[in-house]
């Protein structure tokens, strides 16, 4: 199914077979970055075979192809979530398609709650590693040998070359960039104060409801990956105000400009840091 979807996407987006783009997954409230791409073409998720529509506010649900300073970029404006009723393999399906299209790197972004008490809403955090507390894995079931090995190594799921490129981009743009561990829970309910205390004991700095399935799928396919969290709120027990998705989207949109500046500086460096990959479709 990923091959058929990739072929349809390539035709709809007029994506050259040798493009080897940098791929970006844009999380809640962060989708406006895609509008910065030059010569862009876009296609709605639901128009591609096997590609479910997203139902979450702040996720536009489009696959966009364009150019950023001479670098071809594929951007997902929005993503799928397990709490929408999808299994982990379906959640990771868009990342699978990006890999089949020959993406040389995958940049995953999200809106997250700050577990680290030193973090404040509006901070950007480079994901150094993750805790998969969702109880789900996109690789369950028969292995697709054409995509990757049965037992992929995740010890370097977040590529050090891309991490260095992101840190350099942050310094050159004078954007403060935190570093930390991202924990994924299932959602859609926000975490309790007791759960946040447990997450801190486990070493988490931020918590959210996405990202990990895409990173696992990327690692399975051998795609270098980098992750950025936008801290949109203090997690339960740290903040004493009720949590809401509206607040998450509003804070993410307030930092859109800073976030976009960081990505604009980072993506050319990401393209230079890792080699091109051959498309499968």
Phi/psi for 98 (5° steps) reads: -60, -40
Rounded distance between C-alpha atoms, residue 248 and residue 233, angstroms: 7
User: 105 near 270, Cβ under 8 Å?
Assistant: yes
Is 111 annotated as catalytic? yes
Residue of 4, 32, 83, 247 marked catalytic: 83
Residue of 20, 103, 110, 233 marked catalytic: 233
Is 84 annotated as catalytic? yes
Is 233 annotated as catalytic? yes
User: 64 near 35, Cβ under 8 Å?
Assistant: no
Residue of 28, 103, 116, 134 marked catalytic: 28
Is 210 annotated as catalytic? yes
User: 98 near 74, Cβ under 8 Å?
Assistant: yes
Residues 242-257: b if buried by 16+ CB within 10 A, e if exposed = ebebebbbebbbebbe
DSSP secondary structure of 102-131: T-SEEEEEEEEEE-STT--TT-EEEEEEEE
User: 26 near 77, Cβ under 8 Å?
Assistant: yes
Residue of 9, 20, 59, 218 marked catalytic: 59
Residue of 210, 218, 229, 273 marked catalytic: 210
Q: HSE of 162 in the Cβ direction (CA atoms, 13 Å)?
A: 27
Is 209 annotated as catalytic? yes
Residue of 9, 81, 163, 220 marked catalytic: 81
Residues 19-47: b if buried by 16+ CB within 10 A, e if exposed = bbbbbbbbbbbbbbbbeebeebebbebee
Residue of 4, 12, 84, 143 marked catalytic: 84
Instruction: Read off the DSSP letter of residue 78.
Output: S
Residue of 112, 169, 209, 279 marked catalytic: 209
Residue of 75, 88, 111, 163 marked catalytic: 111
Residue of 143, 245, 256, 260 marked catalytic: 245
* Inter-CA distances, 42 with 57, 70, 108, Å: 19, 18, 19
Which residues are designated catalytic? 28, 59, 81, 83-84, 111, 209-210, 233, 245
């Amino acid at each position: 199914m990923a091959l058929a979807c990739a072929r349809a996407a390539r035709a709809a987006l007029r994506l050259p077979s040798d493009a080897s783009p940098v791929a970006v997954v844009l999380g809640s409230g962060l989708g406006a970055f895609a509008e910065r791409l030059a010569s862009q073409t876009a296609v709605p998720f639901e128009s591609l075979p096997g590609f479910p529509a997203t139902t979450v506010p702040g996720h536009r649900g489009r696959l966009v192809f364009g150019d950023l300073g001479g670098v071809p970029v594929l951007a997902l404006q929005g993503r799928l979530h397990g709490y929408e009723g999808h299994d982990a393999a379906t959640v990771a399906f868009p990342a699978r398609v990006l890999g089949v299209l020959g993406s040389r790197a995958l940049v995953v972004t999200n809106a997250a709650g700050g577990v680290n008490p030193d973090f404040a809403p509006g901070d950007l955090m480079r994901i150094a590693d993750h805790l998969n507390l969702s109880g789900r894995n996109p690789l369950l079931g028969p292995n697709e040998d054409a995509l990757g090995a049965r037992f992929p190594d995740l010890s370097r799921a977040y590529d050090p070359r891309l991490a260095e490129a992101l840190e350099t981009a942050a310094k050159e743009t004078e954007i403060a960039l935190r570093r930390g561990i991202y924990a994924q829970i299932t959602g859609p309910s926000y975490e309790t104060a007791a759960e946040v205390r447990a997450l801190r004991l486990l070493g988490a700095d931020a918590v959210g409801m996405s990202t990990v399935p895409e990173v696992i799928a990327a690692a399975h396919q051998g795609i270098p990956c980098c992750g950025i969290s936008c801290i949109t709120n203090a997690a339960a027990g740290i903040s004493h105000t009720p949590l809401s998705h509206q607040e998450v989207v509003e804070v993410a949109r307030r930092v859109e400009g800073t976030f976009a500046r960081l990505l604009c500086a980072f993506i050319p460096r990401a393209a230079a840091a890792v080699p091109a990959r051959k498309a499968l479709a």
